[in-house]
Structure 1
Amino acid sequence: MPENPEEKLLILQLSEDSRKIARILSNETSIRILKLLDRKSMSAADIADELEVRLNTLKYNLDSLLEAGLIRVRQVKWSRKGREIKVYETVGKMIVLLSGERSSDMSLLLTILRQHSMKNSEGTAALEFSGVYCEPGI
């Protein structure tokens, strides 16, 4: 899970931003990348080899996932030839799309999340609701 509470949950109303995320998540290559990175951190070349996709296709999907905040660069390594190699990982973000603008939707959502909050290794609630990030206007 992300270190910052505001990265744990992204709540979006239907908007251009939510449509972008939905587009990314409807892309088969993006989903395959997310599933792979959920298992282990990898470089773009390793991801391309594993998924058997061309590097330019992979780069497009990685850029989209980075822009949406669904993955991040975990570390930067250097090749023997002095080239930068980025190692990617998922951010462990939950995404909730709200179809309405009513504040009751938000109250209901928070109630449900509190009832089914995630537990960390000590058995205490790991999701900090004070750190929930909501799109402006919610």
Structure 2
Amino acid sequence: MASAFPHQPPVTHAPRKQTNIVVDRDEPADVLQVLSSESAQEILATLKSGPRAASEIAKSVNQSVQNVSYHLDRLCEAELITAIDTWYSEKGREMTVYALATEQLVVQFDDSYD
């Protein structure tokens, strides 16, 4: 019997072209700390191919859903990814769909201390 819920309807999402990260002495760049995690990097690489739910990402990077969810939260807080839609599992459970928030990250160093 087919599920009454849409499993993975198509989503349209256009990430920002570029995000600039400015590194200076007075204000740490939290996004760099988030990016220092190998798990976060694997998640970003997975999302490069398109939006996915946490369970799909976990399967792709061979990690637990709990670990992936932790990194997804941190990546969202750093505005590197964004929740773009909700899909439903075959059992009717809501699944948040994540996508990259930006195509490129540019790290700049503050030059006000020259």
- Please say whether Structure 1 and Structure 2 have the same fold, judged by a TM-score greater than 0.5: yes
* Poorly superposed stretches of 4+, deviation over 3 Å: none
Q: Does 1:71 align with 2:84?
A: no
* Secondary structure of 1:53 counterpart: coil
Deviation at 1:78, TM superposition (A): 2.1
* Secondary structure of 1:39 counterpart: coil
The structure with the largest strand share of the pair is 2
CA RMSD of aligned residues (A): 2.1
Normalised by the length of structure 2, the TM-score is 0.73
| Structure 2: distance between partners of 1:47 and 1:11 | 26
**What amino acid maps onto 1:97 in structure 2?**
Q
Q: Does 1:81 align with 2:91?
A: yes
Note the residue ranges of structure 1 that are not aligned, 5 or more in a row: 106-138
Q: Does 1:97 align with 2:111?
A: no
- Per-residue Cα deviation, 1:111-132 (whole angstroms, up to 9, x for no partner): xxxxxxxxxxxxxxxxxxxxxx
Note the residue ranges of structure 2 that are not aligned, 5 or more in a row: 1-13
Deviation at 1:93, TM superposition (A): 3.9
Deviation at 1:71, TM superposition (A): 0.5
**What amino acid maps onto 2:19 in structure 1?**
L
2:36 to 26, 31, 39: 26
Q: Count residues with an aligned counterpart.
A: 98
Conserved 8 A contact 1:30-1:65:
yes
Deviation at 1:99, TM superposition (A): 4.0
| Structure 2: distance between partners of 1:98 and 1:75 | 35
Q: Does 1:53 align with 2:70?
A: no
| Structure 1: distance between partners of 2:21 and 2:37 | 21
Conserved 8 A contact 1:13-1:101:
no
Q: Does 1:10 align with 2:20?
A: yes
**What amino acid maps onto 2:112 in structure 1?**
E
| Structure 2: distance between partners of 1:101 and 1:23 | 23
Deviation at 1:42, TM superposition (A): 1.0
- Per-residue Cα deviation, 1:42-81 (whole angstroms, up to 9, x for no partner): 1100010111101111111000000000011121112243
Matched-pair identity in %: 29
